[in-house]
Amino acid sequence: MSYQADAGTIMLDAVMIRICETDLVPSRASLLDDIQGKFSKLKEICRSLADLRDALKNEKSRMQISGKTGIHMDYLILLRREIEGYFPKPAPLRSFDWLPAETVSALEKQGLKNTASIFDAFGSEAKKTEFMNMSDLDRDSVESVFRLADLTRIQWVSPVVARMLAEAGCPDPKAVADADPETLCADLSQINAGGRFFNGTIGLRDIKRLVQAASYVH
């Protein structure tokens, strides 16, 4: 299991279904326009999500795809933005600024400087034990950092949101995917009471999107 999804194993039909099932923001709602017809054309060129990412990676390649399929460039640009969101970028360890300095130092000494390297390093019990034997960190510290890294694999989950989810009793993506959106929304709102983490309200619609996004993390 890796930090990001294995795009080579995700077929285009699965991508189309995910888009159809997603509560798209208004600016991307046009992705649903004749989506079956467009993906039928894309499947003549691309087999997997990895192929699609590669085909849409720059303007030159998008122009080639547009010419071969007749799909408008604007649609391909929106499609690229949508699918790139399926691959959250690793967050720097330093962005978890509430972690004890000694924890951060111990991790960085072992070359673990972002959530991807942490997730890969602690991906099994044997790896966690090996790291603890090489550092001064105890199991609670290692488990806590791993949970945060694991949660940031969910689309839209920043380090702060990962911290809130962990406090809400969701230690991993599966727990988020299995959560009742209304209950999770209420719990997160309570955790953020008084603007503890950010100003503003937490919307149920956004939490529903979050729960769904978590269901795609394996």
Q: What is the pLDDT of residues 8-50, one digit of tens each?
A: 999 999 999 999 999 999 999 999 999 999 999 999 999 999 9
Q: What is the pLDDT of residues 58-86, one digit of tens each?
A: 999 999 999 999 999 999 999 999 999 99
**Contact criterion met (CB below 8 Å) for 149 and 122:** yes
Nearest to 120 by CA among 143, 146, 83: 146
Other CB atoms within 10 A of residue 23 CB: 10
How far from the centroid of its chain's Cα atoms is residue 159's Cα?
Answer: 11
Helices 101-109 and 139-151, axial angle in degrees (round to 10)? 80
How far from the centroid of its chain's Cα atoms is residue 78's Cα?
Answer: 18
- Name the token pair of 20: 């159809």
Q: Is the pLDDT of residue 1 over 80?
A: no
CA count, 13 A, side-chain hemisphere, 12: 19
Give the residue carrying structure tokens 């149920």.
Answer: 204
Say whether 11 sits in a helix, a strand or coil: strand
Q: How far apart are CA 161 and CA 72, in angstroms?
A: 36
Contacts of the segment 32-39: beta carbons below 8 A, 24+ positions apart = 33/75, 38/69, 38/71, 38/75, 39/12, 39/13, 39/15
pLDDT of 218 reads 83
> What residues does 11 pair with on adjacent strands?
48
Q: What is the largest CA-CA distance in the chain?
A: 59
pLDDT of 5 reads 93
Q: What is the pLDDT of residues 79-132, one digit of tens each?
A: 999 999 999 999 999 999 999 999 999 999 999 999 999 999 998 899 898 888
- Name the token pair of 188: 């997160």
pLDDT of 202 reads 96
Say whether 165 sits in a helix, a strand or coil: helix
Q: Is the pLDDT of residue 136 over 90?
A: no
Give the residue carrying structure tokens 């991790």.
Answer: 107
pLDDT of 94 reads 93
Say whether 48 sits in a helix, a strand or coil: strand
Which whole number is the average pLDDT over 152-166?
A: 97
